[in-house]
Amino acid sequence: MPHDHHDHDNLSPSGHPFRADNDEPLSYWQTMEIALREILVEKGHLTQAEITAQIDAMDARNPSQGASVVARAWVDPDFKAQLLADASTASRDMGFDIGPMHLIAVENTDTIHNLIVCTLCSCYPRNLLGLPPDWYKTRAYRSRAVSEPRAVLREFGLNLPDTTTLRVHDSTADMRYIVLPARPAGTDDLSQDELAKLVTRDSMIGVGLPRQP
């Protein structure tokens, strides 16, 4: 079998080393994964090359892609209008391969804050931001983000004023969501690339704000 682990010696997008997984005791579910994959390849339903390419494509997707989209919207009013009208097309126009994903961008303002959740499973804009953080898939987040979102935000260190309207978006069907955070004050002199570095994954889910310069 071709070796499809070629690029995982680097650090992950989160800055941690990838977990050494190949020397762990073999589990029942890992056995099923190997067996099922081999059978599908042998029967010609898919190829090992397709699997490798798909892993590489998913690894290439990470929050910095979303940060680039956000930073451009901060500096380019026409692009921002396009993003809010059709975030899928806007993301593709920036060169990001988001597959068939239907993306909606929701804008934070002085008076509105947006928060993304999937109460029924774990829908996430993975084709732009990469795979979701573990907490996003937990019972605690899925249960509470719709009924006590302000308490949830406080756990993430975000105290929302009463004067701000909070809009929670439950990804129940075919749409995926990204928050367009408000541009931090005091960033007038920063370039688009410098602005992108301020945009965190959490700020695009709505559980955080962009970094201050």
Partner 1 sequence: MAEHVRIKAIYPPGHVRAPYYLRGKTGVIERDLGHFANPEQLAYHHKGDPKPLYRVRFTMAEVWGDNAENPADTIDAEVYDHWLERV
Partner 2 sequence: MSDTDGRRWHDMGGMPAGPIPMEGHDFALWEKRVDALMVLCGNKGFLSVDGLRRALEDMGEDTFEKYSYYERWIASINQNLIEAGLYTLEELGTRMAEVQARGPTYGEANNG
Catalytic residue positions?
Answer: 118, 121-123
Q: CA 19 → CA 10, 23, 106, 126, 185, distances in Å?
A: 11, 10, 34, 20, 38
Instruction: Kindly tell me which residue out of 89, 109, 138, 147 binds partner 1, with binding defined by CB under 8 A.
Output: 147
60/115 Cα distance (integer angstroms): 25
Binding partner of 191, given partner 2, partner 1, none, CB within 5-8 angstroms per partner class: none
Residue carrying the six token digits 């928060």? 115
Angle at the Cα of 81 from the Cα atoms of 149 and 93, rounded to 5 degrees: 100
Asked if residues 86 and 102 have their Cβ atoms less than 8 Å apart, the reply is no
Nearest approach in angstroms of CB 181 to partner 2 is 20
Nearest approach in angstroms of CB 66 to partner 2 is 18
Which parts of this chain interact with partner 1 (CB under 8 A)? 102, 119-120, 146-151, 162, 165-175
Which parts of this chain interact with partner 2 (CB under 8 A)? 1, 5, 8, 12, 14, 16-19, 21-27, 29-40, 43, 45-46, 50-51, 54-55, 58-59, 117, 119-122, 131, 133-135, 137-147, 152, 155-156, 170
